[in-house]
Amino acid sequence: MSASPPLVEVRDLTKIFNVSAPWLNRVVERKPKQFVHAVDGVGFSIERGKTLALVGESGCGKSTVARLLVGLYAPTAGQVLFDGMDIAATLRGPQAAVLRRRMQMIFQDPYASLNPRWTVRDIVAEPLVEHALIRDAAGLSSRVAELLNAVGLAGADMPKFPHQFSGGQRQRISIARALATQPEFLVCDEPTSALDVSVQAQVLNIMKDLQRRQGLTYLFISHNLAVVRHVSDDVGVMYLGRLVERADKATLFSQPRHPYTRMLLDAIPDIGMSGRARTPVQGEVPNPLNPPTGCSFHPRCPHANARCKAERPALLEIQGVKIACHAIEEGRLQPQPRSALRQEPLAAEQL
Ligand SMILES: Nc1ncnc2c1ncn2[C@@H]1O[C@H](COP(=O)(O)OP(=O)(O)OP(=O)(O)O)[C@@H](O)[C@H]1O
Ligand code: SF4
Ligand SMILES: [Mg+2]
């Protein structure tokens, strides 16, 4: 147990989107209202200075969790506590600006998230101006130069525009901008997945280095397990809006328990076993408008039985790992150690 409380604590977080057709269409076509349970009772915490990675296939609710964490969405139910403060309540009160300074978000697409008509200096300086942290022009320029240096760019880049940079460099500009207010917590939603494979590792290494030097805490979202393995301390696996497994990185990769986690790991290419075919992820994610009953993974699960179809498994702590699976709870399914070869660290070129 760690002595200090976690920086971020998420309790029973739920976000339901109303995706119904307009009222008149529903009346004419006799259609009911429709709701997507994008995030459905998710709970986890993140220790200071650590990285929790969230993984899962497209549509499982990762970005919705990210947006809930920084207050871009209000939860339908549940709570996000940041340093003990309820963020939804704090963002409505007098401490809103202080809280916004302490957490920042980095988005997937560095092309879309930087204003093309602004210089790099103005882009990186904007949060400093908005929060009135530095008021004089010379002070702003020297702080922007410092931030650019921290991400491996130069002060001489300040008068340039985003289109003069490569994708990896643009993402570094986004990181410099996110760091401007000296946040403690960064929510990174697929920060490298729009980048070429060769520059992904560079950007990830800069992020890890900044974390070490500045004690940053990260929520890192990715559907790429090789990336997750490179950056995380702990991993949460999501399926259709729910957390199905939560473990420290070493345990998750060496002894995956949940059948869905096993399926995802079996799809990672084997290192040093080039002759061996990997097992592609089986089946498809069900329609979130009409999720399966019981365990929502049951239509794809080789271990499903009648209980799985009827009863939703709770996230329970079993041998130090949090896991939502009847078969594991009942002892029908044992942890499956992966072979030594499969545990080799992934090389940068495999990211
Ligand atoms: N603003 C919204 N309005 C309605 N439905 C939404 C909204 N945002 C997300 N959803 C739905 O919620 C579910 C979760 O979406 P989300 O974007 O959080 O998934 P994701 O895990 O980030 O997926 P991806 O890997 O594709 O980015 C999806 O079914 C999506 O269609
Ligand atoms: S609860 Fe049942 S269906 Fe769900 S993952 Fe476990 S064994 Fe498979
Ligand atoms: Mg997403």
SS3 per residue for 142-179: HHHHHHHHHCCCCHHHCCCCHHHCCHHHHHHHHHHHHH
| pLDDT value for 278 | 66
Q: Whose CA is nearest to atom 16 of ligand 1?
A: 61
Q: What atom of ligand 1 comes closest to residue 190's alpha carbon? A: 27
Distance 269 CA to ligand 3 centre (A): 23
By most ligand atoms within 8 Å of CB, the mutation choice from 326, 328, 330, 333 for ligand 2 is 326
**What is the pTM (predicted TM-score) of this model?**
0.91
* Residue 202: predicted pLDDT: 87
* Cα separation values, 177 from 66, 167, 234, 255, Å: 18, 15, 26, 38
- Closest-lying ligand 2 atom to the alpha carbon of residue 295: 4
What angle (nearest 5°) sits at the alpha carbon of residue 221, between those of residues 215 and 225?
A: 105
Phi-psi region at 127: left, alpha or beta (left = phi > 0; alpha = psi -120 to 50) = alpha
> From atom 1 of ligand 2, which residue's Cα is the shortest distance away?
325
pLDDT of residue 347: 45
pLDDT tens track, the chain, 351 positions: 556 889 999 999 999 999 888 888 888 888 888 899 999 999 999 999 999 999 999 999 999 999 999 999 999 999 999 999 999 999 999 999 999 999 999 988 877 789 999 999 999 999 999 998 998 999 999 999 999 999 999 999 999 999 999 988 999 999 999 999 999 999 999 988 888 888 888 889 999 999 999 999 999 999 888 899 999 999 999 999 999 999 999 999 999 999 999 999 888 765 544 444 467 777 888 888 889 999 999 999 999 999 999 999 999 999 889 999 999 999 999 877 776 444 444 444 444
Give the model's pLDDT for residue 340.
42
Domains by residue range for the chain, with CATH: 8-254 (3.40.50.300), 256-282+292-345 (no CATH)
CA 136 to ligand 3 center in whole angstroms? 38
Atom of ligand 1 nearest to the CA of 64: 18
Both tokens of residue 278?
């990997």
Residues 6+ apart with CB under 8 A from 236: 44, 52, 53, 54, 55, 243, 245, 246
Measure the CA dihedral 322/323/327/329, to 10°.
30
pLDDT digit string, tens, across residues 100-155: 999 999 988 877 789 999 999 999 999 999 998 998 999 999 999 999 999 999 99
**Model pLDDT, residue 187:** 97
**Ligand 1 within 6 A of 288 CB?**
yes
The values of phi and psi at residue 246, to 5°, are: -140, 120
Q: Is 313 in the pocket of ligand 2 (CB under 6 A)?
A: yes
Q: Is 48 near ligand 2, meaning CB less than 6 Å away?
A: no
Q: What are phi and psi of 170, to 5 degrees?
A: -65, -40
Which residues are CB-neighbours of 143 under 8 A, at least 6 positions away?
A: 125, 128, 134, 180
* 25 C-beta neighbours (distance < 10 Å), count: 10
Residue 312, SS3 per DSSP: coil
Q: Token pair of 49, please?
A: 């200075």
CA separation (Å) from 85 to 43, 98, 179, 194? 16, 12, 21, 33
Distance 61 CA to ligand 2 centre (A): 19
Task: Give the position, in ligand 1's atom list, of the atom nearest the Cα of 19.
Answer: 4
Partnered with residue 322 across adjacent β-strands are 246, 317
* Closest alpha carbon to 4 in 54, 45, 53: 45
* Cα 309 to ligand 2 centroid, rounded to whole Å: 8
Give per-residue pLDDT as tens, 4-43.
Answer: 889 999 999 999 999 888 888 888 888 888 899 999 999 9
Nearest ligand, measured from the Cα of 189: 3
The protein residue with its alpha carbon nearest to ligand 1, atom 14, reads: 61
Q: Is the CB of 58 under 6 A from ligand 1?
A: yes
Ligand 1 close to Cβ of residue 61 (< 6 A): yes
What residues sit around ligand 3, an ion, with C-beta below 5 angstroms? 63
Residue 275 is predicted with a pLDDT of: 45
Check residue 24 and give its pLDDT. Answer: 87
Q: Which atom of ligand 2 is nearest to the CA of 244?
A: 5
Residue with tokens 């020297």: 142
Alpha-carbon span 312 to 294, nearest angstrom: 4
